[in-house]
Structure 1
Amino acid sequence: MKAGNIISFDGKRSGDQGVTLRSGYNGTINACRQLLVKDLPKQMDGLFERLDDVLYAQADKAGSDQNQTAYFESMRMLRLERVAIQSAYNKGILGRFDRFWTHGPGAVPQQASGASLSCDELDLVESDDLEEGLAITGMVSKGNNSFYRDLYALDQRFSYLLNGMEIGEDGNPLAPATFCTAFKQSISMLEVPLAVKLVIYKQFEKEVIAKLGPLYDQVNATLAKAGILPGIKPTMRRNSPYRSDDSSSRSSAADDRAAYVAGDNPELQAEVFATLQQLLLQRRPMPQTPPGSVQYVDSGSLLSALSVLQQQSDSAKTPAGQVLDAGAMRTVLLSMPQIGQDGSGKVAIGRSDEDTIDVISMLFEFILDDPGLSDPMRALLARLQIPMLKVAILDKSFFGRKDHPARRLLNAMAQAAIGWTEESGRSGDGLYAHIESAVSRILAKFDDDLALFDELYEQFSAFLEREQRGAHVAEERAAQVTQGKEALVEAKRHVADEIGRCLANYSSVPDVVQNLVRDGWNDVMLLIYLRKGKESEEWGEAVNLMERLVWSVMPKPSHRERQELLRSIPELLKGLRAGLSDISYNQHKMTRAFKGLQARHLACLRGGRALDEVTDTQSEGAGQSGEAAGGMEEIVLETVDAQSAPVDIEPDAFDKQAEELAVGSWLELTEEDGSVIRAKLSWRSSISGSCLFVNRKGMKVAEVSQRGLGAWLRSGKVVLLPEVDVPLMDRALNSMVVTLNQSLAKKPGGGKEK
């Protein structure tokens, strides 16, 4: 609870989670809250000021009067609801912050997952909700990625204040997820088209999520000044993806990005080129020519020669995508007139440029060997060898900056290409055509302006975003259908088990009841299980009614039992009729079943002496019961067999690999006809372990059990592809360092030249 703008810490301990605040820091926590109180109005003011202009621009570009009217109407609604939206937004965030200190990281309940539904009901999921959810997820992901260092420091300091309680994912009250969730709830009152809502979310991402850095800096500084883990290193924030047009801002941003990378991994990032230079120097033989007699080529002449080679390769457009090794590249360059040999002495390439040629050649040799790329994609990306060599000579930070424009573009194209195969096609507006277009523009236009790579990256990212949005929708629907099918199978199994348990309690159940339970009440229970779940009150009532039905047709020797039956029959028949009507049970079948029940009930009310007078009850009941028991036995045997089968064969390394394969992993599947499919593990059942695979368009391509996946791996039918989350350049540079170290380890003397 809070009084005014101050959090009340009376009763520091919560009964639910046992939250205990470290004493002496109440004032510090309130100081952090005041920073939040000051920052929230600035966030919303900046958003609404810019949002009006953005929506007006969208209306101006609208293709129809209807769309234009929708944008203008949305602008009017936003102006009217601005105060309410800001109030709800502030209340949501401050409430989350306050509850964190009184109830702990898990104070905000997560959105409950929907109850299990049937396949038909799952198809009704609105794609608009899915689109909105994807927009929120994207914002949270970008925010976490941009400010992960700041959030890590806040997690540690908040955990310290809670006496070591683990914060957990999205448990931080200042995490991007908090701001995104609060904003989503604050604009839920707006009845605007999805297209407008997505524009609003995009602007919120730019104006609020991308600008959380200063708030994080102030809160971390306040906590550190109060003596809360001051030893945590100062944060180096990733630069926001929304760059200013001001050139000085771009320069400052570049410095910030370089600083961030330097702190990320000193050996393989900021100092990666120096590391590779050291390894190459140890491997390279000592020069035989005295240094004084060598004329070194300046970088300008080298770049001119490379530009000529680039134009030649663009004209030839060699489909094979062959790369030149370092020796061949040096030979070709030194033979070109742009180098300017004048016969005054031996010409050589300087050490730094020579090292760059070596590293780029090794990089593209790695690309040609990368199993994550299909042959056509390898050939396409290999054509970038000379442009990337020019980039590396112009800017040595290419090897150390993860966000270098050229490196970023190369990584994005390689990552997108992992799911592409020849069957996807090369023409039209597809992935191959976009990558080919980007490569062709680089070969034709790139001289020394690195801004071209930024432009191409933005265009390629926009294409991927459009494509991935559709793929996400298709993938979600494929997963929902598969989950629905599995939920249906699980529900049928559970209902069958419940019916079998009920009937097994009696030695002989008349056929009229067996038929009614298996043919009608089975579906009633199935529908309740799917809609409400087995923990629901409705499920318990359905099971109880089935048990009372079976009990009602059993002999009643005592007067008390007959009286109890007489009292219960009206309610029993009413419940049966209501349940069967809900599933639209056949009226003729229902009438026959109720007549049969009436005869059984009359027999029971006579004390059991007239049971034999019911036509063929015993004989038919025994026969039907035996038949039904046989059917039930079949179900039980199937279930047991399915569960025990994996025990028959001891799981091996392939089964373990299948079990541990992470969702999102890509693999290459070879069909019986020799065709190759690339598929991503989209979903794994927590019940059966069944695995759903989709292509890069999000369409289902395979569904296999966990055992089946292990068999695929064992037979070589599938091959795992490199991790998508590890960029191509990172994998290449790591591989190069390992390769160079291994080659040096094999040399006599531990790698030193003799």
Structure 2
Amino acid sequence: MSPTQQDPLHHPARDARLLALVRDAFLPPLGDAFAASVARYDDVLFDRAERAGGSQLLFLDGMRELRRRREEIVARFRARLGQAWEALEAGEPPSAEASLASQSTGLSLVAEHELESRLAVRNLASVMLRDCKAVLSRLDRRLGWIAGALQLDADRNPIGPEHIGVAVHEAFATCDLAPEVRLVLIKLCERDLAPAVAKLYEGLDQRLVREGVLPGAPAGPRPAPAAPRPERMAENAAAAAAGSYAGGYGGGWEEPAGGEDYSPAWAARFMQRWQDTRGAMQQHGFDGSAGEAPPPGGAALLDALHQLLQQSRGARGDVAQGAGGVPGGQADQRPLSHREMLSVLSLLQATPSPTLSAAISDDQESLSQRLKSEVLANARQLGVDPSSTRLDPKDEDAIDLVGMLFDVLLDERDLEGRPRELIGRLVVPFVKVALLDRRMFVQKTHPARRLLNALAEACEGNQGESAAERSLLAKVEEIIERLVTEFNENLAIFMTLEEEFRDFLEQHRRRVEVTERRAAEIQRGQERLEMARRRAEFEVASRLEDRALPQAVAEFLRNPWQHHITLALLREGEVGDTFTEALELADGILEEVDEAQRHIVGKPWLQNWQPGLRQVFASIGLHGDAADAAIGALHDTLQAVADARPELEKPLPELPEVALPQAAPVERNPVELVAGTDTLDFDHADAERIRGLPIGTWLDFIDKDGRVQPGKLTWVSPISSRLLFVNRRGVRFCVASPEELAVMVRMGRLRMHVADDGDAFDNAMQGVIERLDAVAPQQSATLH
């Protein structure tokens, strides 16, 4: 082993030479790359100003500020990274999260623009981390090793993306920039620095390997993914040239290379149940005796769904539709052709019928039944004889699946009023998609289902109660209106609209995250306030208990002094000088009260406590002569007690009304909780599981009417261990202890969130399968 190579079984001491090598190889080039980028940004801001409309002056001001403080910006960037590196060399690698939050002090809340800036640099860090994940995991080990076998991670690696994000944030922190200009600059840094940082990481990793630092860990970039099959590339090119997806509903099927796209959870479960029950997959080329479900997707999945639809159709009272919607089509009736079906659906798409709109609003009516009736009724407008036509079985399957999918989506998601109406307008376009490309049902990346997922996310629980929500609903309406107006048979429009809407939705999510953080900050402040109030009340009560105090002294302790120590606890905590001095002041005054009650004569009352008393009265807004008058009243009262002349006691003068911040209002329809954990009936195992939930976990809260509202765990109190949950808008709606939540679990009012990564389409399809199974007698046993 060479002298520089390390034995993984023995921890080395800090290697100053290698640390200096890493510092010189990384920090100066990164600082130079940042400086070169910032030097170009004034031109970028000038270009943005030309098309910024009403914000033009903000970008021009930002351009001038950037030119004026360019050197300071670069210096602050270098200094922050230098400080982080020095902490590593001292054996105490700093936390990026703590560094970013270190500017928050006292009672002040972080401004919204500051939160947005922090979110932007966190996003910058996440982009770099995603692109360099493999090499960073190696650098964490190697860098930690030469620093003395320290454990480094994303938060504590001083040259990692998180600390680079902190440096970018602090570089612009002192600049007088409009929030939108600051966010543009951070986004530009993300674009410009990410490639440079990736190259620096790779070079540094290889350099450390050459120096013999943990040579057993691999170095070098990850292997490139395998190239697509030539036939797949040819098919994609042909589809793109045609402006549509290849393969109509009645056409062929080919599994894509990305198997996970064709394996949603509901499909895997359904195919397993189907194989276990039917044993009929051999006709599709699968060995039913193997005991494993065939790959979900392809013709096998659609054929199995077709059989399940046929079995359940009779039980649902839903037989094949004949002329004019009359059940039981005759043998001499021909099925509507593919072209006729699309034409009828285009008519319904352009001019939705009142009966279909009513069915969307009525959660008791089957959309699939209504759709089939509407299709056959509107076929007259094409000159088709209704007495001689019926639905093709595969077309009927498409209508059934889409109709039931939207039934489940509208019933089980929080979609009421305007959001329900907007999502309902998508029914007819999605039936057309099902006729044109049946891959929509199994391909997670299909643009139609991606658009539906995004629109459902935007609409769920959105009643337009805030400006942001109303803006989001307006965008949803615009997207749906364009889809209904422009969609003919070219599925490319779904991709265009989905990309546009995702960009808009991402901005909305950022604002929701700001709201979440604000809710956590408010709750943290409220808990600190509650704790301070309780401690202040205890200190007052302990001094008033079993004591006969003059009225002025008792009022002093209950009002200005209690308010003063509450503020002291909030600002400095129990170890602060202000709180300690305030306790000494109260105890000193009470000692003088005891002396007065022993009728000691000639004592200069309160002489030693004048500065402390002025400080207390100043905290409630009493200064100068007013404070002197209040102190005088306390002095005269003590003198009257000492002289045994109670009639000479003086009350405190009228004091200003002071009030500490009140508890933040809870979102309407709050979750009902039962307090008093000592009397609650709950499973301690449930409470422990809840106590261990990671931040970001979603739970389903179920009200008395069975309605479900998802809640995201945003913050856990270090004071009370209570958990803060916010709704999809980032607004607080539940703060509860693990024990209270465990009671809700036992009552059936709380469960793990049933959604699968927010995929409304997949969850709705799972609901469709369950509904079909429930009404098909031969399939009901497979649910358990």
What does residue 59 of structure 1 align with? Answer: 49
Judge conservation of contact 1:130–1:473 (CA < 8 Å) in 2.
yes
Task: Give the Cα separation in 1 of the matches to 2:159 and 2:772.
Answer: 44
* Equivalence map 1:403-422=2 (5 Å): 405-421=447-463
Task: Give the Cα separation in 2 of the matches to 1:142 and 1:307.
Answer: 48
1:204 to 180, 183, 189: 189
Correspondence 1:525 to 2:531:
no
Judge conservation of contact 1:392–1:398 (CA < 8 Å) in 2.
yes
1:34 to 25, 33, 36: 25
SS at match of 2:621: coil
Cα displacement (A) at 1:415: 1.7
What does residue 77 of structure 2 align with? Answer: 89
Task: Give the Cα separation in 2 of the matches to 1:531 and 1:105.
Answer: 28
What does residue 634 of structure 1 align with? Answer: none
Correspondence 1:493 to 2:534:
yes
Judge conservation of contact 1:100–1:107 (CA < 8 Å) in 2.
no
Compared CA separation, residues 98 and 390, structure 1 to 2 (3 A) = farther
Cα displacement (A) at 1:172: 3.7
Residue type at the aligned position of 2:423: L
Task: Give the Cα separation in 2 of the matches to 1:58 and 1:151.
Answer: 33
Residue type at the aligned position of 1:371: R
Correspondence 1:727 to 2:767:
no
SS at match of 1:549: helix
What does residue 117 of structure 2 align with? Answer: 135
Task: Give the Cα separation in 1 of the matches to 2:443 and 2:203.
Answer: 27
Deviations 1:661-703 (A, max 9, x none): 866747677699x999887776665545667676666666677
Deviations 1:217-268 (A, max 9, x none): 656666788735329993779xxxxxxxxx99xx9xxxxxxxx994978954
Compared CA separation, residues 539 and 74, structure 1 to 2 (3 A) = same
Correspondence 1:575 to 2:615:
no
Task: Give the Cα separation in 1 of the matches to 2:556 and 2:351.
Answer: 79
Task: Give the Cα separation in 1 of the matches to 2:153 and 2:472.
Answer: 38
1:381 to 423, 426, 433: 423
Cα displacement (A) at 1:41: 3.5
Task: Give the Cα separation in 2 of the matches to 1:153 and 1:362.
Answer: 47
Deviations 1:148-184 (A, max 9, x none): 3732652355236536855455334454332221112
Compared CA separation, residues 706 and 281, structure 1 to 2 (3 A) = same
Across the two proteins, how many residue pairs are aligned to each other?
Answer: 650
1:313 to 346, 349, 356: 349
2:36 to 32, 45, 49: 45
Correspondence 1:79 to 2:59:
no
Task: Give the Cα separation in 1 of the matches to 2:575 and 2:715.
Answer: 25
Cα displacement (A) at 1:207: 3.4
Cα displacement (A) at 1:574: 3.3
2:413 to 368, 371, 382: 371
Compared CA separation, residues 364 and 705, structure 1 to 2 (3 A) = same
Residue type at the aligned position of 1:413: L
Residue type at the aligned position of 2:759: P
Q: Which runs of 5+ in 2 are unaligned?
A: 5-9, 226-235, 241-255, 272-294, 309-336, 361-365, 383-390, 650-672
Cα displacement (A) at 1:647: 0.4
Judge conservation of contact 1:411–1:729 (CA < 8 Å) in 2.
yes
* Equivalence map 1:264-343=2 (5 Å): 268=264, 274-277=295-298, 278-279=300-301, 306=342, 309-316=345-352, 318-319=356-357, 320-321=359-360, 324=368
Cα displacement (A) at 1:591: 1.6
Task: Give the Cα separation in 1 of the matches to 2:11 and 2:505.
Answer: 47
Judge conservation of contact 1:692–1:702 (CA < 8 Å) in 2.
yes
Deviations 1:93-138 (A, max 9, x none): 3553564465354355533374563xxxx5xx47xx3223223314
2:677 to 636, 646, 653: 646
Over the aligned positions, Cα root-mean-square deviation in angstroms equals 6.3
* Equivalence map 1:284-683=2 (5 Å): 306=342, 309-316=345-352, 318-319=356-357, 320-321=359-360, 324=368, 364=406, 367-368=409-410, 370-374=412-416, 377=419, 380-381=422-423, 383-384=425-426, 387-388=429-430, 405-421=447-463, 430-447=471-488, 449-461=490-502, 463-464=504-505, 467=508, 483-502=524-543, 513-554=553-594, 570-585=607-622, 587=627, 588-598=629-639, 614-615=644-645, 645-652=676-683, 656=687, 665=698
Compared CA separation, residues 138 and 574, structure 1 to 2 (3 A) = closer
Deviations 1:469-514 (A, max 9, x none): 665666666665555444333212101222344566x977666644
For normalisation by structure 2, the TM-score amounts to: 0.63
Deviations 1:533-567 (A, max 9, x none): 22212211211222233234445999xxx9xx989
Task: Give the Cα separation in 1 of the matches to 2:19 and 2:30.
Answer: 17
Task: Give the Cα separation in 2 of the matches to 1:427 and 1:140.
Answer: 22
Compared CA separation, residues 698 and 193, structure 1 to 2 (3 A) = same
What does residue 629 of structure 1 align with? Answer: none
Judge conservation of contact 1:303–1:390 (CA < 8 Å) in 2.
no
Task: Give the Cα separation in 1 of the matches to 2:432 and 2:197.
Answer: 37
Task: Give the Cα separation in 2 of the matches to 1:596 and 1:430.
Answer: 63
Compared CA separation, residues 519 and 22, structure 1 to 2 (3 A) = closer
Task: Give the Cα separation in 2 of the matches to 1:178 and 1:687.
Answer: 29
What does residue 331 of structure 2 align with? Answer: none
Judge conservation of contact 2:422–2:480 (CA < 8 Å) in 1.
yes
Judge which range, 427-436 or 187-196, deviates more. Answer: 427-436
Compared CA separation, residues 354 and 89, structure 1 to 2 (3 A) = farther
Over the matched positions of the two proteins, sequence identity in percent amounts to: 24
Judge conservation of contact 1:28–1:223 (CA < 8 Å) in 2.
no
SS at match of 2:458: helix
Judge conservation of contact 2:263–2:442 (CA < 8 Å) in 1.
no
What does residue 177 of structure 2 align with? Answer: 192
Task: Give the Cα separation in 2 of the matches to 1:488 and 1:36.
Answer: 43
Residue type at the aligned position of 1:530: L
Residue type at the aligned position of 1:75: M
Judge which range, 448-457 or 489-498, deviates more. Answer: 448-457
Compared CA separation, residues 647 and 510, structure 1 to 2 (3 A) = same
Cα displacement (A) at 1:25: 12
Residue type at the aligned position of 1:176: P
Task: Give the Cα separation in 1 of the matches to 2:159 and 2:87.
Answer: 12
Task: Give the Cα separation in 1 of the matches to 2:442 and 2:223.
Answer: 19
Judge conservation of contact 1:314–1:440 (CA < 8 Å) in 2.
no
What does residue 256 of structure 1 align with? Answer: none
Judge which range, 150-159 or 710-719, deviates more. Answer: 710-719
Judge conservation of contact 1:268–1:400 (CA < 8 Å) in 2.
yes
Deviations 1:310-340 (A, max 9, x none): 4533422632346549x979x98xx9999xx
Task: Give the Cα separation in 2 of the matches to 1:684 and 1:543.
Answer: 31
Compared CA separation, residues 316 and 709, structure 1 to 2 (3 A) = same
Deviations 1:338-367 (A, max 9, x none): 9xxxxxxxx9999xx999999877755653
Compared CA separation, residues 42 and 397, structure 1 to 2 (3 A) = farther
Cα displacement (A) at 1:143: 4.7
Compared CA separation, residues 314 and 668, structure 1 to 2 (3 A) = farther
For normalisation by structure 1, the TM-score amounts to: 0.65
SS at match of 1:93: helix
Residue type at the aligned position of 2:537: A
Judge conservation of contact 1:684–1:690 (CA < 8 Å) in 2.
yes
